[in-house]
Amino acid sequence: MILLFVVFVFLATVFLGVPLVWAILLSAVLPILVFDLGYPLQALYLNFIGGVEPNHFIAIPLFIVAGELMSRGGVGARIITFSRALLGFMPGGLGMVVVGASMIFGGISGSAIADSAAIGSVMIKNMAKQGYKPAFAAGLVAAAGTIGIIIPPSIPLLIYGFVAGVSVKDLFLAGTVPGILFGLLFMIVCYRVGKSSGCDAGGQKTHWPTLGRSFLATAPALFMPVLILGGIFSGFVTPTEAAALAVVYGLFVTMFVYRDFHLRDLPSLMIDAFVTSAIVMAVIGATSVLGWLITLEQMPSILVGAVQELSSSPWVFLLLVNVVMLVLGLVLDPVPAILLTAPLFLPTAQSFGVDPVHLGVVMTCNVAIGLFTPPVGATLYVASRISGVGVLSIARSMASLYGAAILALALVTYIPAISMTLVRMF
């Protein structure tokens, strides 16, 4: 009963437009008052503060700063140039450039919104000039940008690891192949669109010297994910230390190698990163309060019993996870969606023998799809603002991209080897 009340209060407040942090806190306070649970309200404050105190959360603002550094200046343009030299000769090649550049940029910034903005600002107009429909071009940028939160370093995977007590190294390994799978399926859509419409038939081959020059120009940026992931996977640094290294390296590359970032730009960057980090940490604190109530009232055990009564199959459980996360992804950003649901899903997943690492990747893939789905899809609105095309028009043009994303989600969900093979190997 209390679990249903919490869900109702949260959804009602979110749909009424209450700010997310207050919606989460109301979902924790009202059950205590309505059901007279007797918990001291002072405990809410203590749990809020305690939720943001762990030292490993320092990695979050550091990764945000590193992503902001690499998303400013000419890094995106250099990645696009390299992707065009690598992929532009195929039918649908310009669309493939968007996907390939988004995958590379996502491995640097870890942010779907930064990815869509950096790639979309250059590629939407170029695709329209090539003959692509502007709505499809914008939709492709919105969809491909979300690969940035599946491929490491991914902030949603990082936060899931901290909340669930799962190895961040394992999560980053597990997200690599699913991110590539999403990218390959999006590229197949681009191939079909380019070939069937005739707007991008390809055929212009890239000479090796041109490819080499574009790679060398991009190499300093490409080394950032190697530095981060190599350090974490080798055990040489912790995720927090890797985030600090990323900031130092990002400053070096943008200021001394590319020279498109200056000290005078640093205050505005730090303010933007501070605002983003503050929002994330406030949400973490609020969800810690709700998590405290959920634990005390044994709501995970109630959910486990309810799901087991419905079915004893892990396949059905994973289907329910997908349905819930896709619905939440329509109204919530990835971080709060994962923070709210991970404490509920983890005990149930363990009762069904589902690996917590696999569950984290499945949840992240779901919220990635939510980012380019109306009504609240963040990358969808970024692409709409850049292209000048309405959100609904973009969404209508994305049927094939939605189909590819759902297929990728189904494969990742029901073939655990896609996400777990690299984890077991290393």
Q: What is the 3-state secondary structure (H, E, C) of 214-256?
A: HHHHHHHHHHHHHHHHHHHHHCCCCHHHHHHHHHHHHHHHHHH
Q: For 128-152, how does the pLDDT look when each residue is reduced to its tens digit (9 = 90+)? A: 888 899 999 999 999 999 998 999 8
- Which pLDDT score, from 0 to 100, does residue 156 have? 92
CA distances from 165 to 154, 188, 345, 424 (A): 16, 36, 13, 18
Q: For 327-346, how does the pLDDT look when each residue is reduced to its tens digit (9 = 90+)? A: 888 888 888 889 888 888 98
In contact, 123 and 98? CB cutoff 8 Å: yes
Q: What share of the chain is helix, strand, coil (3-state, %, to 5)?
A: 80, 0, 20
Q: For 71-110, how does the pLDDT look when each residue is reduced to its tens digit (9 = 90+)? A: 776 777 788 888 888 887 888 888 999 999 999 888 887 7
pLDDT of 203 over the 70 cut: no
